[in-house]
Amino acid sequence: MSGVLSTEIYSQVLETWRKSPMQKPKISKVTVNVSLGYGGERLQRVAKFLESYTGQKPVYRKAKRTIRAFGVRKGESIAVMVTLRKDKAINFLDKALEAVTRKLKASSIDKHGNISFGIEEHISLPGVKYDPELGIIGMDVIITIEKAGYRITRRKRNRKRHISLRHRVKPEETMVLLSETLNVQWI
């Protein structure tokens, strides 16, 4: 444990989870986003790479508005993303954390306990070789963390409900969860 999270808070969080297992958060999903800023054949190659590496079919994302200076038109596909859940999410996350040497900034956690980080070069992922047709691409990895029962905020039938603040994931809980499950070090 680094100096970002004190051992006192670390042990308090673990004690809370031991007393009340429903309070322990879990990794809900991992979203991987690769944005090129333009479409075409290279974007399709990126989508094929993402599909082969993650084992999940990616979705193309479209530009929301036209930006003439960059040559982007509204409605043009400019990015691909894939959402991973359960075992696929954990497997990809383990590889992605290897690419960043298992060190993450504590400041990249939002107030709801979600965290995002970037991988500058995809060739730093384990098992990936350089492909001259693909080039070098970077990607954003977003980890969504939830506690049990959070589904009631998204449900369609029987009305959505509000989650109290004490049941939301705190940044400290995210730090402890990722340190315990994936050996993440915080800087």
Q: Are 5 and 176 in contact (CB under 8 A)?
A: yes
Give the chain's domain count.
Answer: 2
- Nearest to 140, CA basis, from 110, 120, 114: 120
Answer with the residue of higher pLDDT: 143 or 162: 143
Domain identity same for 41 and 114: yes
Residue span of the structural domain in which 98 resides: 26-146
Cα Rg of the chain (Å, integer)? 19
Residue found by looking up tokens 């960043």 in the block:
100
Residue found by looking up tokens 């986003």 in the block:
33
Domain identity same for 84 and 18: no
Calculate the CA 156 to chain-centre distance. Answer: 25
- CATH number, domain of 52, equals 3.30.1440.10
Domain identity same for 36 and 122: yes
Average pLDDT over residues 21-46: 91
Domain identity same for 46 and 119: yes
Edge-to-edge strand order for the sheet containing 26-35?
59-62, 77-84, 26-35, 139-146, 115-119
How far is it, in rounded angstroms, from Cα 172 to Cα 21? Answer: 17
pLDDT beyond 60 at 39: yes
Average pLDDT over residues 114-119: 96
- Does some domain include residue 186? no
How far is it, in rounded angstroms, from Cα 181 to Cα 104? Answer: 14
- Does some domain include residue 90? yes
- Does some domain include residue 185? no
Domain identity same for 136 and 160: no
Give the pLDDT score at 38: 82
